[in-house]
Structure 1
Amino acid sequence: MAAVDEIAPDIFRITVMTEPDQDFTTSFFVIRDEAPTLVETGFRLSFDETRQALSRVVDPSTLRYLVVPHFEGDECGALNRYLDQAPHAVPVASPIGVAVNLGDFALRDPLPVDASSELDLGTHRLRFLITPYVHTWESMLPYDPTTGTIFCSDVFIGPEEGRAMTDADQTEAMIETYKTVGIFPSRAHLDSALDKIEAVHPRTLACHHGSVKTAKIGTYLQALREHDVTGVTEWNPMLEPPSR
């Protein structure tokens, strides 16, 4: 059963266990506001489970924005299922994401956003960091300056250890994971993304995989700068889609 946890005022984490044996979770986030918003949608195959969890926070039919940080099954596999449920919802992605993926994939015309864009949700706002090749070429990271929450997608991933939120230092596990899966192809692109993240002074790292980080953010940034986590490595299939 999907778990629901409030990780910042009116921002909720919806989580399913992706790999129980490896303590590896997949999460997406709902912002409860005048314009209810999903950041990521989770897998298509887990839609029924995650929609039920979402309905504990907002009526899915009232969703206004469905934000896609990059095009991948765990990020947007259920996008069209949610668009079916929410007649006024608009998909949101980076300009490249719209041009090469969502413009064709989504049931409804998507909205391209860049570093100058801002979505007014009511109390919250969403701005966007454009972070190509972190870890796909159309990647971007949304953030809410109202709460200092950055939705960091596949940056800062790690274990959950039964905690929706943590103030512990999990950098060792994070670095080991990246060395195993090899999802960052370029040092220059990763450093550029870290510069952009650091510049907005986040207070909460809303991770797509693993516990949400609420402390030691500088430590996580420094660890990714100091360790070699870029380049191609032998792929270890940690992520498996939910069973049918």
Structure 2
Amino acid sequence: MHRLVALPQGTPARGRRAGQEIPGEGRQKTIILLFLPQLFIVARITEVAEGIFQIRVEDRKIRYFEALWQIPEGITYNAYLLKGDKCSILFDTVKEEFSGEFLEALREVEDISNIKYLVVHHMEPDHSGAIPALLEENPEIEVLGHPLTKGMIESFFGLRPRFRAVKDQELELCGRRIRFVSTPWLHWPETIMSYLPEQGILLSCDAFGSYGIPEEVSSRDVLPYFRETRKYLANVIGHYRRNVIQAIEKLRGLDVRLILPSHGPVWTEPKAIVELYEGLASGSKREKKAVAVYASMYGAVRKAVRRALEKFSSLGFEVLEFPFTDSSWANIADAIGEMEDSPMLVVGAPTYEAGTFPVMDMIVNLIAEKIGREKRILIISSFGWGGVAGKRLAERLKDFSTVRVVEFRGFPSPKELEEIDRAAEELAEGL
């Protein structure tokens, strides 16, 4: 059962710069599709700029993004429709399970038979999942995407639609100029972006995205969404931080006045979100913070890690701990997100069956793959009869800036706690 509610939503007026059009200025009309009774799904349609509509599906049911990252804050899947002369262009779709809601929302602003082109920025199924349903309704749609996209569509969906390969080039479609920008490994090899030069609009796909379900469709300020954006970047794109920097350099010559990402809010002040992404990806944005993630079966590692955090706190660091114990497990996605702008990490794990405690094996692999190498790391490890975990963790994290190891048998002695203090002081020098 569902009902369709149309809400005129006023957006704050933004100052007009001399001689420039401000995309999305004025009132936005949002249509909200509510599904009852749980209200787990909301589909919003908003005209975010003249002739450009966002179709936003809000996923509150999801628990683990990519079946890995715990996101109680939920996520949005944003697609965009550009109305041109006598036809329209759709940019991306949504996750397959929301295909029906997506098409129903799309019909509110356009006859699907009038959609002539589908631009596929990225083939990950949270953006491409509704392609089969869309093409079933209108098989005449021509799909535009990176050369790799054609084979992916066939292998993902068993479809061979009309397809045109695009990379770094400009086309006129439905009377509108569109410049395609190849941005590989953000975060798949076939990723592209679209730039509308007449309005200064960048459709950026996963780049400049964030977790969460913003109350507002658009924002000029990144601060209210800082945690969700930092967490998203670290979790999803962290492995490809060099590609983030390369893409930003490639985009720098464009007059971008509005960024339309595939997750999270529309950014009406692009400079702020670009600088945030660049600062995080390069490691130049840092807080005086120490983040500890550890597993402690019976309290030995916890005692040692908390001693380290007490020392860091006395040295002026904000300290955060993410424990995995017999009473609770921390949110791994949050931990990786907090590490993104922290110069100091504390990693704790006991030896377990001649190896590293299993959950910490996974987390340390994520740290090694997702987090920038400029971090300083204190490894704390305990053992009962033969120490293994400390050495293995140090080997896995050897490419980071500085790595210190404190390992002890049983529970830490007063001497070993003093060693932790000294290690923390040495690591903190210069920060």
TM-score (ref. length: structure 1): 0.86
1:85 alignment counterpart: 137
Deviations 1:19-74 (A, max 9, x none): 36405211111111233111011122211111111111110122111111111111
Distance in 2 (CA, whole Å) between partners of 1:112 and 1:231 is 35
Task: From the CA coordinates, give the structure whose radius of gyration is larger.
Answer: 2
2:219 alignment counterpart: 166
Task: Work out whether 1:192 is the aligned partner of 2:207.
Answer: no
2:305 alignment counterpart: none
Task: Work out whether 1:233 is the aligned partner of 2:288.
Answer: no
Matched position secondary structure for 1:16 = strand
The answer to whether the 8 A contact 2:121-2:205 is kept is: yes
- Counterparts in 2 of 1:231 and 1:172: CA distance versus 1, 3 Å: farther
Distance in 2 (CA, whole Å) between partners of 1:212 and 1:68 is 19
Matched position secondary structure for 1:185 = helix
Task: Work out whether 1:203 is the aligned partner of 2:257.
Answer: yes
> 1:33-72 maps to which residues of 2 (within 5 A)?
33=84, 34-72=86-124
The equivalent position to 2:58 in structure 1, one of 1, 7, 17, is 17
Give the Å deviation of 1:101: 1.1
2:149 alignment counterpart: 97
1:218 alignment counterpart: 271
Distance in 2 (CA, whole Å) between partners of 1:140 and 1:231 is 27
- Counterparts in 2 of 1:182 and 1:56: CA distance versus 1, 3 Å: closer
The answer to whether the 8 A contact 1:184-1:231 is kept is: no
Give the Å deviation of 1:117: 3.6
RMSD over aligned Cα, in angstroms?
2.1
Matched position secondary structure for 2:221 = coil
More strand by share: 2
TM-score (ref. length: structure 2): 0.50
The answer to whether the 8 A contact 2:170-2:177 is kept is: no
- Counterparts in 2 of 1:182 and 1:15: CA distance versus 1, 3 Å: closer
The answer to whether the 8 A contact 1:54-1:60 is kept is: yes
Which structure has more relative contact order (CA 8 Å, sep 6+)? It is 1
1:6 alignment counterpart: 47
Matched position secondary structure for 2:273 = helix
Deviations 1:175-225 (A, max 9, x none): 23222x14243333211111222221211111111110111x222222222
Distance in 1 (CA, whole Å) between partners of 2:147 and 2:368 is 25
Give the Å deviation of 1:97: 2.2
Matched position secondary structure for 2:105 = helix
The answer to whether the 8 A contact 2:197-2:255 is kept is: no
Any unmatched runs of 5+ in structure 2?
1-32, 34-42, 62-71, 282-339, 341-366, 372-431
The answer to whether the 8 A contact 1:133-1:184 is kept is: no
Deviations 1:144-197 (A, max 9, x none): 112211111111112442111111224623123222x14243333211111222
Matched position secondary structure for 1:46 = helix
The answer to whether the 8 A contact 1:134-1:184 is kept is: no
Q: Which segment drifts farther, 18-27 or 191-200?
A: 18-27
1:178 alignment counterpart: 233
Distance in 2 (CA, whole Å) between partners of 1:202 and 1:103 is 34
Identity %: 23
Matched position secondary structure for 2:274 = helix
Give the Å deviation of 1:83: 1.2
Distance in 1 (CA, whole Å) between partners of 2:226 and 2:218 is 17
Tell me the amino acid that sits aligned with residue 73 of structure 2.
Answer: Q
Task: Work out whether 1:127 is the aligned partner of 2:186.
Answer: no
The answer to whether the 8 A contact 2:169-2:181 is kept is: no
Give the Å deviation of 1:114: 1.4
